[in-house]
């Protein structure tokens, strides 16, 4: 659509590179202008540079695309963190997309100028910022692309963790060995308290007692067997001697002779000194106790094993329930484990990650590789004119402020002189009043000095014997016009 609408550019009120780019209204009825608004361009300048519109329209589409990808990446990350799709994730993803769009708009709009070294110095830091944001945005997308392998690795890791827990619980809660003479409950010294269970049935004491009884029975059996063997040998020698059997140590003469009686006496003495029958009875009783205790130990061991297996199963089930849904951190760890031993997968992950980082850096790269455009030159001229106008305004404002300051200083000096004159006048009036008071006092003293009698009579009043008083005799001739007869006060 051809844009024929123009608007009057507002003069820059403050200097800076973005003075003309930050207050742009949202255009209506023109998709191209809406996309160009995303780049921060001034439509007043583009109105005279129609060939630049397509460039900045495409750049606006790039900005919109990167913001959309960023919002989708945030939505994926929030869905993995929350374990479900929630409306709050949509709101946060939209806010993140708007933030990325605003950031990219600033990165592109603030990189104007006609000098390549200035443009490069301005764009390189912005490119680093874009790469960092691209790395953050790319990770959820990479996890989503390799979700199958990542989730399988997470499940394997969880199963290995549960198997390790089960093995540790079995090791820290051993069952007494049927053929062991050690007491039950012997466990490795590095077992933590959380891995050791307490049991209602513990065959440890019974196993220890059984081991002791077995040891006693074995010792007694060895003694009985040895005594029986020796007694049988003595009885056989005596029998051979008495029957006249020839052989080593035998006389070969039959009958109850001296040698026969001697051999019989040796056998009887050995039987008397070695209670074979009594020990055999003890061994039989001890064997019966061992058999009974073996049954009890077997029952106790079975109960112990069942209780232990139940507790281990409960603990493993609790750990499995606490694992819950696969979280974002588990996915990162699984991806790291996968790329650690699979060179092909590592290369694929790097390629995909670099692809999304490149997409997020596209706005700055487009601005960097696009070179200096006619719009950049026009913006530079507009900014130069704005700065010149601002400088003139500042000079006029400074001159006006200087004039106002001089006028204020003059008014202050005039007020100071007026105040000094008023102070001097007040001092003169006070001095004149003091002089008048002094002169009045001098006249009063002078009057008292010139007319002492008249002053005394007027002060004392009439005598006690004069009943008529001062008015009876009438006024004196000399008082007709005052104290001096002329009606004037003394001087």
Instruction: Determine the straight-line distance between the first and last CA of the chain, rounded to whole angstroms.
Output: 112
Cα–Cα distance for residue pair 263/240, rounded to 1 Å: 10
pLDDT one-digit tens code per residue, 313-349: 888 888 888 887 777 788 888 888 888 888 888 888 8
Q: Alpha carbon of 423 to those of 175, 243, 415, 419, 428: distances in Å? A: 113, 170, 12, 6, 9
Residue 251's pLDDT is: 67
- What confidence score (pLDDT) does residue 98 get? 92
By C-alpha distance, which of 317, 305, 355 is closest to 158? 317
* pLDDT of 118: 64
Give the pLDDT score at 255.
67
- pLDDT value at residue 454: 52
Instruction: Pull the structure tokens for residue 75.
Output: 């939505």
The radius of gyration of the chain from alpha carbons, rounded to an integer in Å, stands at 62
Q: What are the tens digits of pLDDT across the range 105-118?
A: 887 777 666 566 66
For 105-129, the DSSP string reads HHHHHT---S-HHHHHHHHHHHHHH
Sign of CA pseudo-dihedral 99, 100, 105, 110: positive
The pTM for the full model equals: 0.47
The confidence score (pLDDT) of residue 3 equals 43
Helices (H) and strands (E) in the chain, counts: 13, 0
CB 172 within 8 A of CB 196: yes
From first to last of its 491 residues, the chain has per-residue pLDDT tens of 444 443 434 444 334 444 444 444 545 557 888 888 888 887 888 777 888 888 888 888 888 998 898 888 888 888 877 766 778 888 888 998 999 888 888 877 776 665 666 666 666 777 787 788 778 888 888 888 888 888 888 888 889 989 998 888 888 888 766 444 444 456 677 787 777 777 766 676 777 777 888 888 888 888 888 888 888 888 887 777 777 777 776 666 676 777 788 878 888 888 888 888 888 888 888 888 888 887 777 777 777 888 888 888 888 888 888 887 777 788 888 888 888 888 888 888 888 888 888 888 888 787 777 777 777 778 778 777 888 888 888 888 888 888 888 888 888 889 988 988 899 888 888 888 988 888 888 888 888 888 765 544 444 444 444 444 444 444 444 444 444 444 444 44
Q: Are 59 and 41 in contact (CB under 8 A)?
A: no
255: left (phi over 0), alpha (psi -120 to 50) or beta: left
CA angle 330, 334, 340 (to 5 degrees): 145
- Residue 82 Cα to chain centre, angstroms: 19
pLDDT, tens digit, 9 for 90 and up, residues 227-240:
888 888 888 877 77
Tell me how far apart the alpha carbons of residues 79 and 435 are, in angstroms, rounded to a whole number: 102
- What DSSP designation does 52 have? G
Sign of the Cα pseudo-torsion (245, 248, 252, 255, in order)? negative
Backbone angles phi, psi at 183, to 5 degrees: -75, 150
Tell me what pLDDT residue 5 has: 41
């Amino acid at each position: 659509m051809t844009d024929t609408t123009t608007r009057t550019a507002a003069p820059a009120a403050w200097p800076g590179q973005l003075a003309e780019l930050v207050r742009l209204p949202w255009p209506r009825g023109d998709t191209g202008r809406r996309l160009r608004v995303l780049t921060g361009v001034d439509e007043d300048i583009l109105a005279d540079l129609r060939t630049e519109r397509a460039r900045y329209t495409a750049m606006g589409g790039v900005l919109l695309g990167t913001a959309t990808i960023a919002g989708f990446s945030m939505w994926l990350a929030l869905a993995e963190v929350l374990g479900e799709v929630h409306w709050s994730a949509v709101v946060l993803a939209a806010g993140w997309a708007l933030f990325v769009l605003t950031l990219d708009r600033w990165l592109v709009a603030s990189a104007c100028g006609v000098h390549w070294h200035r443009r490069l110095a301005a764009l390189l830091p912005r490119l680093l910022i874009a790469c960092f944001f691209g790395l953050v945005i790319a990770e959820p997308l990479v996890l989503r692309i390799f979700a199958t392998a990542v989730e399988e690795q997470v499940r394997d890791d969880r199963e290995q963790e549960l198997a390790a827990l089960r093995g540790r619980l079995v090791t820290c809660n051993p069952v007494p060995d049927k053929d062991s003479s050690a007491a039950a409950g012997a466990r490795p010294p590095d077992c933590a308290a959380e891995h050791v269970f307490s049991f209602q049935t513990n065959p440890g004491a019974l196993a220890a007692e059984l081991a002791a009884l077995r040891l006693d029975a074995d010792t007694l059996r060895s003694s009985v067997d040895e005594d029986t063997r020796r007694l049988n040998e003595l009885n056989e020698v005596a029998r051979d001697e008495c029957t006249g059997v020839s052989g080593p140590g035998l006389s070969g003469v039959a009958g109850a002779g001296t040698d026969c009686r001697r051999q019989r006496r040796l056998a009887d003495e050995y039987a008397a000194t070695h209670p074979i029958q009594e020990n055999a009875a003890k061994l039989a009783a001890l064997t019966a106790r061992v058999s009974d205790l073996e049954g009890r130990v077997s029952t106790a061991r079975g109960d112990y094993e069942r209780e232990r297996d139940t507790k281990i199963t409960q603990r493993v089930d609790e750990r499995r329930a606490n694992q819950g849904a696969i979280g974002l951190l588990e996915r990162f760890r699984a991806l790291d484990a996968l790329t650690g031993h699979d060179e092909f997968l590592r290369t694929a992950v790097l390629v995909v990650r670099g692809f999304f980082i490149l997409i997020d850096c596209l706005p700055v790269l487009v601005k960097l590789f696009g070179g200096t455009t006619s719009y950049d030159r026009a913006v530079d001229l507009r900014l130069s004119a704005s700065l010149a106008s601002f400088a003139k305004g500042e000079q006029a404002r400074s001159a006006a402020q200087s004039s106002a300051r001089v006028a204020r200083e003059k008014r202050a000096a005039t007020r100071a002189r007026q105040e000094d004159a008023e102070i001097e006048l007040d001092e003169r009036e006070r001095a004149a009043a003091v002089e008048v008071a002094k002169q009045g006092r001098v006249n009063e003293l002078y009057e008292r000095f010139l007319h002492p009698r008249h002053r005394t009579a007027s002060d004392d009043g009439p005598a006690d014997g004069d009943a008529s008083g001062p008015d009876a005799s009438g006024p004196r001739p000399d008082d007709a016009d005052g104290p001096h007869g002329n009606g004037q006060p003394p001087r």
